[in-house]
Amino acid sequence: MKRYLIGRIGQALLVLWGAYTVTYLILYLLPGDTLSIMLSASGMEADGLSAEDLAKARAYYGLDQGLWQQYADLLWRALHGDLGHSLSLNRPVTALLAERLPQTLALAGLAIVLSLLGGIGLGYLTAYLQWRPLKTALSRLPSLGFSVPVFWMGLLLIQVFAFGLGWFPATGSNGFDSLVLPAVTLAIPSAAVYAQVLQRGFQGVWQEPYIVTAFAKGLSRAQVQARHGLRNAALPILTLVGLQVGNTVSGAVLVETIFSRNGVGRLAQEAVLRQDIPVVLAIVSVSAAAFVVINLLVDLLYPYLDPRISHCPKVS
Amino acid sequence: MTHRLSLKHLLASCTLAMAVAGCSPQAETDAGQTLNIAFWGDNTTLVSVDPFQVYWLEHRVLLRNVVESLTDQDPLTGKIIPWLAQSWTVSDDALSYTFTLRQDVTFSNGERFDAAAVKTAFDSNKAFAGELPATFGATYLAGYDHAEVLDPFTVRLVLSRPNAGFLQATSTTNLGILAPASYALSAQQRSLGQIIGSGPFVLEHYTPEVGAKLRKRPDYAWPSANVANRGAAHLEVVNISYTPEESVRNGLFLQGKTDILWPRNPFSEVDLKLLQSKGASIQSRSLPGPALNLYPNTRNGRVLADRQVRLALQKAIDRSSYAHTVYNAEFPVVSGVYDVTTPYFKAQGDKLAYDPRGAERLLEDAGWHTGSDGYRYKDGKRLSLRYNLSPAESAGDVLVQDQLRKVGIDLKLNVLTRAEWVAGNASGNYDLTSTYMTRADPIILQTILDPRAANSATLATNTYEPQTLEAAKALFDRGITATSDAQRAEAYGQLQDLLLDQAAAFPLYERVWQAATAPRVQGFRWTAEGFALLNDIQVKQP
């Protein structure tokens, strides 16, 4: 087990390093260099300046190093906890993340909780119901939930619950009230996936011999589903939760824009557009780290939830 | 003519309509003296409210109420009028400007406004421009050499080379005077909101992408003649918020949660009708500076090197249907290279008339003949133009594409990211491109079209054929070294003629800035540069 753990942590570090390097190279390969974007932002373009002025501007923004030198410099400092300085926001990236990350974590956390409640609830209900028309209707719902575009759902929720009913604020990131609509928006596609997977899971599980045995012991349908069905049918959801962390970061880009929230998703999108390399690298590293850690936890949890799975070689 | 709306616009209009359906009459009683302004998204590329660096229009609105300038500009006549300076004289060679300052002005931190403070401000700006020559304010400061403090309230600003726009520059937010304490801070600190001015409001905080809060300064008493209210502002607090999503921003206004809805782009007709039906007043002002022009690439043997083709392109654009279908029936039709609010603007509507038959004739004469697909060909090559735009095409771009198709020109809308767009301009990989700047002085065109001063020297060079470039440079020089109004009017008049006669610029529409104000907002007035002085505004029950 210890050996397995060390191996997995080594793998995780490799993934982090890979994500960091690939992101850096992609940003570097994008057309238009950071300097000309920065100059253009301040109302000037690089070809309008003399070579001397250009060198001054390059030094001012700290862009006077080569590709690999800059990479090594950034990586070395990142390893020491210094994620660098944002070029256009004029602030250390760590301070920026400290300010923005809680917003996105709260949003993602609530979204994951809501999607699990919604998804498992719907899947469970669909499996329990026996009245055919309703069962069919409910089993079609996940496809709908997954097909509706996130931005449209967000706008719809704002119209109904913020402008129409006035229950929640439409924009901002102040308090729990302002978190509800964005979290619901972000939760819907994931909930749809969970519900779909769980419905399929139950379809398979109902055919298993141990279900027949459970019925034979005289248990009711509700008892069989709760004690024997759910635990077996729900296993794939654990894997999906790990994958959803990635979806929340990409979903946050849209949701945070629609709801004018000041989180990491929006920061990521803007940083990419302005080629603010230190900021993008930091966000990619943090989300890759979250992704890797959660998936590692999921893998470690499996043996406890399902004794048939083991990470240690079996002695036979 | 087919007027294609993008999906996004359609969606925005639909949701807006839904917002109204779900709307209930507002019962605002405690609106008090707080004004809420909603702008579109914040500038995320250059995050700064440092007056000298800022080009972002919305930030200049904010700064106009926090930071004051030596002079102000009359929005009706464009004349420069006293503000922090009571009077001034300009030497005959137009190289030294002597300002007599008001003696009753203090900064919000208690520091006295005097000649030394003016010198500190101008010298600090010059030093910053030396460090970062690309900064926007540098063009306003062009030629500034040093300041002499003649007595505590008289200061002489000395230029090393003529700059006919300098007096106007002293009226702008870009050369606003901050308290000496602000210049002791770093540019980064100023950028993030540590701005101390002498204006009627104090910048309490600025949170990038979220908003800003201004609080009234109770002891304020030195406005320029542009303001009716001679004392402290009526408003206690001004909240500014940045809402990138259009339908959400509009919805907040219709809900009564915003008093002034102030997006960057003019309202569409659907939105306009809706806002007016809710009792909102629409405030409009053409932003001084160039109109929204397309600039051609006439170099390296590209299609638009042929003046006949450029003139045909000019005739093939229907500007009145642009103004009336993309915007609304009252929207002004562009009638020159500059917007009408720019000093020395020359109306040239006759040169911009829609004449598709004339365009076809010119193209025939230039050897471009219609092929079987309706587009024109010459030597087997299609008459195709690459129009670089960023970040997305507008309904207007699609409309122009359609208008040009009718005379056989294939306009390719080449949608790029900002970075690619900048690279495209620098490398000359385009046939048409577009950019704008706002300043109430014709000199601003030099930052676009004079290769010696332009942001993009490539764009500025490519706009003209070689012989035209020399003529344009000479006119820019005459304009900036002129010492009398008549000389400036003549130089800039000829320049505007040159640009249209040579088809070196293709005006599309007047850059009108619109704000919707709720019925309870009274006293909204534009400044010369298209900003607003909030100390005249009152929030009352209508």
| Residue range B350-359, pLDDT digits in tens | 999 999 999 9
| Closest by Cβ to A31, choosing from B22, B134, B420 | B420
> In degrees, to the nearest 5, what angle opens at C-alpha B472 toward C-alphas B512 and B432?
55
Put simply, the answer to whether B19 touches A46 (Cβ < 8 Å) is: no
Q: What's the average model confidence in pLDDT over B479-488? A: 90
Query: In angstroms, what separates the C-alpha of A166 from chain B's closest C-alpha?
Result: 10
Q: Residue A222 — pLDDT band, cuts 50, 70, 90?
A: confident
Asked if B134 and A49 come within 8 Å (Cβ–Cβ), the reply is: yes
Q: How far is A180 from chain B (nearest CA, A)?
A: 16
Which domain covers residue A54, as residue numbers? 2-79
Mutation pick from B7, B55, B422, B449 vs chain A, by most beta carbons of A within 10 Å, is B422
pLDDT at B13: 46
A110 and A27, same domain (yes or no): no
Q: Decide if B168 contacts B441 (C-beta within 8 A).
A: yes
Residue A120 shares a structural domain with residue A56: no
Min Cα distance A88 → chain B (Å) is 5
In a domain, A141, yes or no: yes
Average pLDDT over residues B368-394: 93
Long-range contacts of residues B282-285, Cβ cutoff 8 Å, at least 24 apart: B282/B514, B282/B515, B282/B516, B283/B514, B283/B515, B283/B516, B283/B517, B283/B524, B283/B526, B284/B512, B284/B513, B284/B514, B285/B75, B285/B341, B285/B512, B285/B513, B285/B526, B285/B530
How much of chain A exceeds pLDDT 70, in percent? 91
User: How many C-beta atoms surround the C-beta of residue B427 within 10 A?
Assistant: 11
Model confidence at A247: pLDDT above 50: yes
pLDDT in the model for residue A290: 86
Could you tell me which chain B residue has the CA closest to the CA of A258?
B245
Domain count, chain A: 2
Give A77 or B26, the one with higher predicted confidence. Answer: A77
A47 contacts B457? CB cut-off 8 A:
yes
- Is A224 a domain residue? yes
DSSP-derived 3-state class of residue B327:
helix
Residues of A in contact with B455 (CB under 8 A): 40, 43-45, 48
Does some domain include residue A85? no
Contact yes or no for B255 and A259 at CB 8 A: no
What count of other Cβ atoms lies within 10 Å of the Cβ of residue B255? 17
Is the pLDDT score of B496 beyond 70?
yes
Same domain, A109 and A75: no
Question: Closest Cα of chain B to A143: distance in Å?
Answer: 22
| pLDDT more than 90, % of chain A | 10
Chain B contact probe: residue of A47, A174, A256 with most B CBs at under 10 A = A47
| Any domain includes A90 | no
Contact assignment for B136 to A44 by CB distance below 8 Å: yes
- Domain presence at residue A295: no
Instruction: Check whether residue A112 and residue A200 sit in a common domain.
Output: yes
Check CB contact under 8 Å for A260 and B457: no
Q: Does residue A105 share a domain with residue A206? A: yes
Mean pLDDT of A140-147: 90
Claim to verify: residue A19 and residue A105 sit in the same structural domain: no
Q: Output the pLDDT for position B426.
A: 83
Average pLDDT across chain B, whole number: 90
Whether residue A172 sits in one domain with residue A130: yes
Residues A63 and A199 in one domain: no
User: Are A264 and A115 part of one and the same domain?
Assistant: yes
Q: How many CB atoms lie within 10 A of CB B480?
A: 23
| A63, A260, A269, A280, best to mutate vs chain B, most B CBs in 10 Å | A260
Residue A310 located in a structural domain: no
Distance to chain B for A187, nearest Cα, Å: 20
Same structural domain, A126 and A45: no
Interchain pair B418, A40: CB under 8 A? yes
Which B residues in the span 126-185 are in contact with A, Cβ-Cβ below 8 Å? 131-136, 139
Closest residue of A to B256, CA-based?
A163
CB contact under 8 A, A163 and B19: yes
CA dihedral B197, B200, B202, B208 (to 10 degrees): -90
Please report whether residue A153 resides in a domain: yes
The answer as to whether A93 is a domain residue is no
The residue type at B335: S
Q: How many CB atoms lie within 10 A of CB B394?
A: 16
Cβ contacts below 8 Å, chain A against chain B, sum to: 159
The Cα of A56 is separated from the nearest Cα of chain B by a number of Å equal to 7
The mean-pLDDT minimum among A222-236, B292-306, B360-374, B525-539 falls in A222-236
- For B310, the token pair is 């450029």
Check CB contact under 8 Å for B251 and A38: no
Q: Are A148 and A32 in a shared domain?
A: no
A34 and A131 fall within a common domain = no
pTM of the model: 0.83
Q: Any idea what the CATH number is for the domain that residue A266 is in?
A: 1.10.3720.10
Which residue in the set A37, A56, A155 is minimally distant from B418, CB to CB? A37
In this complex, do B248 and A260 lie within 8 Å of one another by their Cβ atoms?
yes
Which residues of B are less than 8 Å from A47 in CB distance?
425-426, 456-458
CA distance B297 to chain A (A): 16
Residues of A in contact with B7 (CB under 8 A): none
Which residues 353-392 on chain B approach chain A with CB closer than 8 angstroms?
Answer: 391
Does the pLDDT at position B63 exceed 70?
yes
Cα B103–Cα B104–Cα B106 angle in degrees, nearest 5 = 110
Range name among A122-136, B168-182, B342-356 with the lowest pLDDT average: A122-136
In 3D, which of B333, B263, B313 has the Cα closest to residue B504? B313
